[in-house]
Amino acid sequence: MGDDLKFVDSEMGGVPSTAPSSVAPTGRGPVGQADMAESTSSSMGFLKTAKHPVVCCFHLGFKLAALITFIFSGIIFSNFIVNFVVTTVFLAFDFWTVKNVTGRLLVGMRWWNDIKEDGTSEWIFESLTDERQINSTDKNVFWAGLWLWPVAWVVFLFVEIFRLQFTYLPIPIMGLILAGSNTIGYWKCSKDAKDKVRQWAQHNAVRAVVGSVI
């Protein structure tokens, strides 16, 4: 693999009986702010064990932005063309980020198409040999986002068909094509990773046998 892969109840005493009853916090005071901060912290707590938490956020962030733009298109944009362009931009950002950044940093994999001098093309799939270098949280976030992303666009595709909203079909089709490309690419990288692990194990086994004989 390339060098760039070496590598993402207190009691209130003395209160008169005429004192007004306490009012429950509404969430706008300090108590409500603390509860909100605690809720946000707990919801993002799984990233505390990630080696690349920022990369994990980008891995999911563009997906979330594309979904919000598409689902709430009627509220955010009144023009279909604007909605299509903005959603496509988020989809393109997500595709590029997953293909070139998050796959390499989170799971030590990358894929691309190499155009040779004779004009022929070759698909290249690379992966780390030693998976112990990969953080388990990084790996779970990456694969969950990768596999669920095309499934989401398949669902939206059928929803738009059942609603007879054929005008919006190009968006889920585009999302499915881009998401499917990354899914297929990294699936083949995963096969390459399994082959490398198998070869590495066989090589170490042979060395151990030879070492014991010698």
Contact 139, 147 (CB under 8 A): no
Q: Cα–Cα distance between 203 and 205 in angstroms, integer?
A: 5
pLDDT for residue 45: 67
pLDDT at site 29: 45
Q: Does the predicted TM-score (pTM) go above 0.85?
A: no
Max CA pair span of the chain: 93
Residue 12 has what pLDDT? 44
Residue 27's region, left for phi above 0, alpha for psi from -120 to 50, else beta, is: left
pLDDT at position 125, please? 86
Phi and psi angles of residue 77, each rounded to the nearest 5 degrees, phi first: -125, 135
pLDDT by residue for the chain (214 residues), tens only, comes to 444 554 444 444 444 444 444 444 444 444 444 444 444 444 456 678 888 899 999 999 999 999 999 888 767 777 788 888 999 999 999 999 999 999 999 998 988 888 888 878 888 888 887 777 889 899 999 999 999 999 999 999 999 899 887 888 999 999 999 999 999 999 988 876 666 556 555 555 556 555 555 6
Output the pLDDT for position 154. 96
Q: What pLDDT score was predicted for residue 196? A: 59
Structure confidence at residue 61 (pLDDT): 95
